[in-house]
């Protein structure tokens, strides 16, 4: 079953808003084995929507649209689909009652534009919007389906989860669909692709591998449409063994959540000493709800004075080896363990760029140390991209080092 | 002049990659007064590209494509445009020499697939790619233009800046185009829109206002196509005065870069004490190259113990008022000034959620203090969204408070 997506909104074309709806909907549909054939991004114009609907329905039986609903845009989406199918519009009393009730509670006067929102193409199933005013709709005519949703991301997602999901599964899902994503860190897409080449070639045409690279990370997704569940599970486990050395998590887990789990399960606390990463690792760790159970705090020692005053790094060490060195990050970790009082500490020092590099230590040189009272491990990287990516990469590698240290030392 | 954009890539349709290229290109073209008419996102298939080119050229004279170039994809984009225009392919020696040289330097064996990358449609202008192997192309035939670029964002951007920009301006720019963006913080889009309603209504049809909301910030862009430069400048200045109370920067400046400039110009150093923001403010500050000139370091005092040990916050204060209180952030700022030794300090404490809230202090309660040795200012907010947005909002408000404090105290 072919699906086309139409994203309506001038703000998408002028580039002021990134089209996260298209990506979210693509992933959402994938969960049930559906794929988007083509996405059209167009402006807020009846003519554009009408002509794009025509094109879209030529190559798909289901067309999903976002945007063009809601009081300030004259509901152009609904008029366009009504015109396309040759339908009249009917006033939907239930929606009007809901909006009136909502506004009365908040003491806001209701306007005529909201009356327009209640007009629906004849025969459309109204998808009540609990997150906003504009309802969505599902229209079926002559074997063609059109689902129209608001453009505001959390409203669209709410309607997809609440109303569309069950409709799609009951109406369209024939084959079963299986998928599993492995999250890897520490090597690049090409190395992994080479490593699993024979395995990938051995998969039938029901199954496939998709690669999604990130900064220092690669997600590997195996999927299978139809066929036996046990076949999929065997292949999934084979793949899992093949890439085990790089895998840190699966199906949406972030490195920071995996690190958090390991700390929590072992009753350990973490403190950080960050220099070039400037707070990014702390920010990632604390983005996980409940992280206060295992993260106590950090010292962002951006200047050499702070490295000395807060962490007790020796001035001779800084003079002899420099801030970006194995010796300095080792003293930073010891200082964090002593002064910030955590069970585990990690320290990062590097040259993010664009300035600060030298022949001996070019931009992108990173030193990381991780340890506890008994032992400290160090590692260095050279990641020669731009400032933003050097910082992101250093944070990812530091989190991975903490993860590997916890596994090696605390998981027997 | 109408422009359509075709983004080619299976990974875009399955939603694993968000289409940042479309947004970047939209903004890039806007700078010269060009608008994208429609964006098509399609899969890696010769058939798809060919049929979408047909549709795209029906409603545009310039079609830009991203993706479908590069060694692992059989250069389907180039074959499709060659087929569309009925052209043969020619081997481009210069590109081969460049790739060979690149690979020889890195001691990587060159493969036959790279030979394919050097085949170009007859008559195409080759756009050399300094950031990767796949060259772009600009093809002009029968009044239609096709620009094909790699899908990797920094490679595409490199080619747009390096080769496409000048070509677009010289070939297509007729009317002059003026634009200016004001960056505001501290109020919402609706308030600003109401405030400038009369001014916006007074603009002719050559000029317009665009709003881009963010977390705690709104960008206001005024643009004018054709007409007199002095008319634009007058309108721009009028708008500037109208929204002055909320404006912190313009034309791409971030809050953190504005704060950095203010610190640098006044020879001041900044230290931070972060609790709920967990390192995000430090990360934003250090994302600016050269920030080591004014940012010394921070204490991420995520636990109450750290607030006491590192910053000297009194245990009685924490007992009596709690971590999220005016009293605690004030002591955090004093502690930062004394122990971290900066000219200016800022502290943030809040309840990011989803847990930790109470009737008295719900999730989203934020306290911020900013000060120097002579005075400390405090403010509180209630921003009741999800954890991620509460943290982002707190960081934005803290940066704005630092900015306002610097202006009030150091700029006479």
Helix, strand, or coil (residue B204): coil
Residue of A5, A37, A35 whose CA lies nearest to A21: A5
User: Cα separation of B177 and B33, whole Å?
Assistant: 5
Confidence at B113, pLDDT banded by 50, 70, 90: low
B41 interaction partners in chain A (CB closer than 8 Å): 22, 36, 38-41
Nearest to B19 among A22, A37, A286 (CB): A22
Confidence at A70, pLDDT banded by 50, 70, 90: low
- The per-residue b/e assignment along A332-359, b for 16 or more CB within 10 angstroms, e otherwise, is bbbbbbebbbbbbbbbbbbbbbeebbee
Structure tokens given for B42: 């399609």
Q: Quick check: A72 contacting B, CB < 8 Å?
A: no
Contact, B388 vs B250, CB < 8 A?
no
A354 preceded by cis ω (within 30°)? yes
Phi, psi of B410 (to 5 degrees): -110, -20
pLDDT score recorded for residue B75: 63
Which residue is closest to B38 within chain A, CA to CA? A42
pLDDT score recorded for residue B265: 96
DSSP-derived secondary structure letter, A339 = I
Average pLDDT of the residues in A132-146: 90
Q: Quick check: A23 contacting B, CB < 8 Å?
A: yes
Task: Please state, in angstroms and as integers, the Cα–Cα distance from residue B186 to each residue in A143, B326, B353, B390, B393, following that order.
Answer: 50, 20, 22, 15, 10
pLDDT, chain A, mean: 91
B354 preceded by cis ω (within 30°)? yes
Residue A392 Cα, gap to closest chain B Cα (Å) = 10
Structure tokens given for B251: 């034309």
pLDDT score recorded for residue B72: 56
Q: Higher-confidence residue: A64 or B114?
A: A64
Look at B306 and A287 and tell me if their CB atoms are within 8 Å: no
DSSP-derived secondary structure letter, A291 = G
- Mutation choice for B interface testing from A286, A289, A341, A357 by most B CBs within 10 A: A286
Structure tokens given for A235: 């292949």
The DSSP element (H or E) to which B380 belongs, if any, is strand B376-382
Residue B317 has pLDDT above 60, yes or no: yes
Look at A13 and B37 and tell me if their CB atoms are within 8 Å: yes
Residue B98 has pLDDT above 90, yes or no: no
Look at B279 and A298 and tell me if their CB atoms are within 8 Å: yes
pLDDT score recorded for residue A205: 83
A312 interaction partners in chain B (CB closer than 8 Å): none
| Residue tagged 């007729």 (tokens) | B174
Average pLDDT of the residues in A33-38: 87
State CA A337 to chain mean position distance: 33
Q: What is the share, in percent, of chain B residues with pLDDT greater than 90?
A: 66
B44 preceded by cis ω (within 30°)? no
- Between strands A247-250 and A295-300, the pairing is unpaired
Radius of gyration, CA atoms only, chain A = 27
Other beta carbons within 10 angstroms of residue B4's beta carbon come to 22
Q: Quick check: B392 contacting A, CB < 8 Å?
A: no
Helix, strand, or coil (residue B97): helix
Residue B343 has pLDDT above 90, yes or no: yes
Average pLDDT of the residues in B131-142: 86
Residue A250 Cα, gap to closest chain B Cα (Å) = 14
A25 interaction partners in chain B (CB closer than 8 Å): 15
Query: Left if phi > 0, otherwise alpha if psi is -120 to 50, otherwise beta: which for A386?
Result: beta
- Mutation choice for B interface testing from A279, A287, A332, A349 by most B CBs within 10 A: A279
Nearest-10 crossing angle of helices A326-335, A304-311: 40
B280 interaction partners in chain A (CB closer than 8 Å): 279, 283
Residue B16 has pLDDT above 80, yes or no: no
Query: Left if phi > 0, otherwise alpha if psi is -120 to 50, otherwise beta: which for A267?
Result: left
Residue A16 has pLDDT above 60, yes or no: yes
Task: Please state, in angstroms and as integers, the Cα–Cα distance from residue A33 to each residue in A199, B39, B41, B80, B164, following that order.
Answer: 22, 25, 19, 29, 39
Which residue is closest to A211 within chain B, CA to CA? B11
ipTM: 0.81
Confidence at A15, pLDDT banded by 50, 70, 90: confident
pLDDT score recorded for residue A174: 67
Residue B109 has pLDDT above 70, yes or no: yes
Residue A18 has pLDDT above 90, yes or no: no
Average pLDDT of the residues in B325-349: 97
Average pLDDT of the residues in B14-40: 85
Phi, psi of A246 (to 5 degrees): -110, -10
Q: Which residues are CB-contacts of B230 (< 8 A; sequence separation ≥ 6)?
A: none
Residue B24 has pLDDT above 70, yes or no: yes
- For the ranges A61-70, A265-274, B14-23, B98-107, the maximum mean pLDDT occurs at A265-274
State CA B262 to chain mean position distance: 21
User: How far apart, in Å, do the first and last CA atoms of chain A sit?
Assistant: 49
Structure tokens given for A231: 């076949």
| Residue tagged 């190259």 (tokens) | B289
Q: Quick check: B16 contacting A, CB < 8 Å?
A: yes
B282 interaction partners in chain A (CB closer than 8 Å): 274, 278-279, 282, 300, 302
| Residue tagged 């370091």 (tokens) | B297
Helix, strand, or coil (residue A147): strand
pLDDT score recorded for residue A53: 96
Look at B282 and A282 and tell me if their CB atoms are within 8 Å: yes
Task: Please state, in angstroms and as integers, the Cα–Cα distance from residue A72 to each residue in A15, A68, A116, A228, B71, following that order.
Answer: 20, 9, 10, 50, 47
Look at A286 and B279 and tell me if their CB atoms are within 8 Å: yes
Confidence at B103, pLDDT banded by 50, 70, 90: confident
Look at A35 and B14 and tell me if their CB atoms are within 8 Å: yes
Contact, B304 vs B317, CB < 8 A?
no
Where are any strands of DSSP class E within B136-262?
Answer: 136-141, 144-149, 177-185, 207-213, 217-225, 247-250
Residue of A15, A13, A17 whose CA lies nearest to A45: A13
User: How far apart, in Å, do the first and last CA atoms of chain B sit?
Assistant: 49
Q: Which residues are CB-contacts of A200 (< 8 A; sequence separation ≥ 6)?
A: A193, A209
Residue A323 Cα, gap to closest chain B Cα (Å) = 13
Q: Quick check: B22 contacting A, CB < 8 Å?
A: yes
Q: Quick check: A221 contacting B, CB < 8 Å?
A: yes
Residues within 8 A of A (CB atoms), B 304-343 only:
305-306, 309-310, 340-341
User: Cα separation of B297 and B198, whole Å?
Assistant: 46
For chain A, count helices (H), then strands (E): 17, 17
Phi, psi of B210 (to 5 degrees): -120, 140
Structure tokens given for A28: 């959402």
pLDDT score recorded for residue A152: 82
B2 interaction partners in chain A (CB closer than 8 Å): none
Which residue is closest to A391 within chain B, CA to CA? B287
> What distance separates the 2 farthest-apart alpha carbons in chain B?
82
- Domains of chain A, start order: 3-171 (3.40.980.10), 177-250 (3.30.70.2860), 255-410 (3.90.950.20)
pTM for this entry: 0.82
Residues within 8 A of A (CB atoms), B 200-219 only:
210, 212, 219
Task: Please state, in angstroms and as integers, the Cα–Cα distance from residue B25 to each residue in A26, A65, A94, A167, B324, following that order.
Answer: 21, 22, 43, 36, 43
Residue of A277, A271, A267, A389 whose CA lies nearest to A337: A271
pLDDT score recorded for residue B122: 94
Strand partners, B366: B350, B381
Residue B123 has pLDDT above 90, yes or no: yes
- The per-residue b/e assignment along A4-41, b for 16 or more CB within 10 angstroms, e otherwise, is bbbbbbbbbbbbbbbbebbbbbbebbbeebbbbbbbbb
- Mutation choice for A interface testing from B209, B213, B298, B304 by most A CBs within 10 A: B298
Structure tokens given for B399: 């940066």
Look at A303 and B297 and tell me if their CB atoms are within 8 Å: yes
Residue A247 has pLDDT above 80, yes or no: yes
Strand partners, A179: A223
Strand partners, B210: B221
Q: Higher-confidence residue: A146 or A130?
A: A146
- Mutation choice for A interface testing from B7, B38, B181 by most A CBs within 10 A: B38
pLDDT, tens digit (0-9, with 9 covering 90-100), for B256-293: 999 999 999 999 999 999 999 999 999 999 999 999 99
Q: Quick check: B90 contacting A, CB < 8 Å?
A: no
Q: Quick check: B282 contacting A, CB < 8 Å?
A: yes
Residue A296 has pLDDT above 70, yes or no: yes
Residue A368 has pLDDT above 70, yes or no: yes
Q: Which residues are CB-contacts of A380 (< 8 A; sequence separation ≥ 6)?
A: A326, A365, A366, A367, A368
Residue of A333, A332, A334, A346 whose CA lies nearest to A394: A346
Residue A222 has pLDDT above 80, yes or no: yes
pLDDT score recorded for residue A402: 98
Give the HSE-up count for residue A225: Cα atoms under 13 Å, Cβ half-sphere.
14
B297 interaction partners in chain A (CB closer than 8 Å): 299-303, 306, 310
Residue A218 Cα, gap to closest chain B Cα (Å) = 11
pLDDT, tens digit (0-9, with 9 covering 90-100), for B148-197: 999 888 889 989 998 999 899 888 876 778 889 999 998 887 789 889 99
Average pLDDT of the residues in B332-355: 96
DSSP-derived secondary structure letter, B19 = B
Structure tokens given for A54: 């025509």
Contact, B159 vs B67, CB < 8 A?
no
Phi, psi of B45 (to 5 degrees): -145, 135
Residue B118 Cα, gap to closest chain A Cα (Å) = 22
| Residue tagged 């202006």 (tokens) | B407
pLDDT score recorded for residue A88: 94
Nearest to A387 among B41, B289, B302 (CB): B289
pLDDT, chain B, mean: 91
User: Cα separation of B358 and B307, whole Å?
Assistant: 21
pLDDT, tens digit (0-9, with 9 covering 90-100), for B61-70: 999 999 988 6
Confidence at B318, pLDDT banded by 50, 70, 90: very high
State CA A178 to chain mean position distance: 20
- For the ranges A323-337, B76-90, B138-152, the maximum mean pLDDT occurs at A323-337
Average pLDDT of the residues in A139-151: 94
Size of interface A-B (CB pairs under 8 A): 244
């Amino acid at each position: 079953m072919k699906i086309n997506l139409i994203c309506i909104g001038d703000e998408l074309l002028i580039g002021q808003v990134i089209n996260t709806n298209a990506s979210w909907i693509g992933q959402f549909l994938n969960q049930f084995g559906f794929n988007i054939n083509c996405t059209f991004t167009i402006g807020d114009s009846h003519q554009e929507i009408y002509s794009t609907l025509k094109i879209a329905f030529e190559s798909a039986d289901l067309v999903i649209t976002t945007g063009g609903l809601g009081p300030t845009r004259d509901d152009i989406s609904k008029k366009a689909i009504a015109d396309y199918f040759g339908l009249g519009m009917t006033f939907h009393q239930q929606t009007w009652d809901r909006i009136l009730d909502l506004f009365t509670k908040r003491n806001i006067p209701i306007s005529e534009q909201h009356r327009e929102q209640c007009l629906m193409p004849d025969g459309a199933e109204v998808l009540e919007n609990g997150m906003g005013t504009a309802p969505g709709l599902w229209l079926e005519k002559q074997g063609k389906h059109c689902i129209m949703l608001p453009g505001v991301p959390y409203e669209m997602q709410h309607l997809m989860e609440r109303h569309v999901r069950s409709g799609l599964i009951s109406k369209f899902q024939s084959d079963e669909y299986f998928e599993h994503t492995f999250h890897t860190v520490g090597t690049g897409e090409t190395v992994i692709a080479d490593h699993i080449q024979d395995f990938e070639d051995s998969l039938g045409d029901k199954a496939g591998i998709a690669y999604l690279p990130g900064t220092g990370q690669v997600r590997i997704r195996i999927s299978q449409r139809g066929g036996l569940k046990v076949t999929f599970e065997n292949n999934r486990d084979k793949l899992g063994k093949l890439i085990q050395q790089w895998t840190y998590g699966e199906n949406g887990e972030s490195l920071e959540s995996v690190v958090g789990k390991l700390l929590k399960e072992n009753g350990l606390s973490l403190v950080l000493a960050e220099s070039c990463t400037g707070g990014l690792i702390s920010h990632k760790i604390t983005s996980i709800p409940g992280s206060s159970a295992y993260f106590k705090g950090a010292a962002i020692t951006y200047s050499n004075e702070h490295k000395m005053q807060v962490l007790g790094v020796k001035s001779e060490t800084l003079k002899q080896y420099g801030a970006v060195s194995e010796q300095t990050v080792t003293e930073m970790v010891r200082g964090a363990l002593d002064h910030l009082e955590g069970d585990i500490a990690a320290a990062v020092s590097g040259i993010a760029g664009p300035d600060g590099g030298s022949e001996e230590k070019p931009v992108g040189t990173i030193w990381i140390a991780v340890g506890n009272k008994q032992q400290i491990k160090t590692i260095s990287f050279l990641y020669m991209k731009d400032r933003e990516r050097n910082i992101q990469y250093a944070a990812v590698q530091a989190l991975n080092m903490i993860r590997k240290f916890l596994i090696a030392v605390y998981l027997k």
